[in-house]
């Protein structure tokens, strides 16, 4: 049994709300202790493990993707190192946990970047397409929605460029 925890402002700015990922017999569970909810909000996550990157845990992130002052939840989970991982993105909306993408985003390396306007974007690197590059999808807030766009073979992942 293991878990990851983080705190952030999910329902309203300046709140300290706790988020955790638990592993149980059924798999991985995301639980959110939102302000005003008697029971934790929860949902199953894909995969069997919390993701790690460069030998460090890199599974649970609370960042403000859209710059509205409250944090969104990025949970990165994996089936195994060679299969890659899934980034699942949620926000807390009117006391409910809402997925921000139709399905979890696949990738082999992930990077979360803060932008100068206070928003964040999520970069998801795929498998290598040749010895110098990999596929890359960049997810950022656009017109009220988290949208991904593919950037073909133009950038190396942080690990690959080391
Ligand atoms: Ca936000």
Evaluate whether residue 149 is within a structural domain.
yes
* Cβ–Cβ under 8 Å, residues 103 and 91: no
pLDDT classification of 2: cutoffs 50, 70, 90: low
C-alpha 73 to ligand 1 mean position (Å): 9
CA-based end-to-end distance of the chain: 33
C-alpha 161 to ligand 1 mean position (Å): 30
pLDDT in tens, 3-25: 899 999 999 999 999 999 999 88
Rounded-to-integer distance, Cα 78 and Cα 154, Å: 25
C-alpha 68 to ligand 1 mean position (Å): 5
Evaluate whether residue 161 is within a structural domain.
no
pLDDT in tens, 47-95: 999 998 888 889 999 999 999 999 999 999 998 767 889 999 999 999 9
Can you give the pTM of this predicted structure? 0.91
Evaluate whether residue 17 is within a structural domain.
yes
Which DSSP string do the residues of 71-115 spell out, in sequence order? Answer: -EEEEEEEEETTTEEEEEEEEEETTEEEESSSSPEEESEEEEEE-
Evaluate whether residue 55 is within a structural domain.
yes
Evaluate whether residue 105 is within a structural domain.
yes
Evaluate whether residue 46 is within a structural domain.
yes
Count structural domains, the chain. 1
C-alpha 13 to ligand 1 mean position (Å): 9
C-alpha 67 to ligand 1 mean position (Å): 5
Evaluate whether residue 13 is within a structural domain.
yes
Evaluate whether residue 160 is within a structural domain.
no
pLDDT classification of 133: cutoffs 50, 70, 90: confident
**Enclosing domain of residue 10:** 3-155
């Amino acid at each position: 049994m293991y878990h990851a925890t983080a705190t952030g402002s999910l329902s309203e700015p300046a709140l300290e709300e706790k988020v955790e990922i638990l592993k149980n017999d059924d798999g991985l569970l995301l639980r959110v202790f939102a302000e005003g909810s008697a029971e934790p909000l929860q949902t199953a996550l894909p995969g069997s493990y919390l993701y790690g990157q460069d030998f460090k845990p890199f599974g649970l992130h609370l960042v403000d993707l859209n710059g509205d002052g409250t944090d969104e939840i990025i949970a990165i989970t994996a089936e195994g190192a060679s299969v890659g991982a899934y980034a699942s993105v949620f926000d807390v909306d009117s006391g409910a946990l809402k997925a921000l993408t139709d399905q979890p985003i696949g990738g082999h390396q992930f990077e979360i970047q803060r932008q100068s306007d206070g928003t964040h974007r999520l970069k998801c690197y795929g498998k290598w397409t040749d010895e110098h590059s990999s596929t890359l999808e960049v997810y950022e807030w656009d017109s009220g929605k988290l949208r991904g766009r593919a950037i073909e073979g133009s950038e190396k992942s942080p690990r690959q460029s080391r």
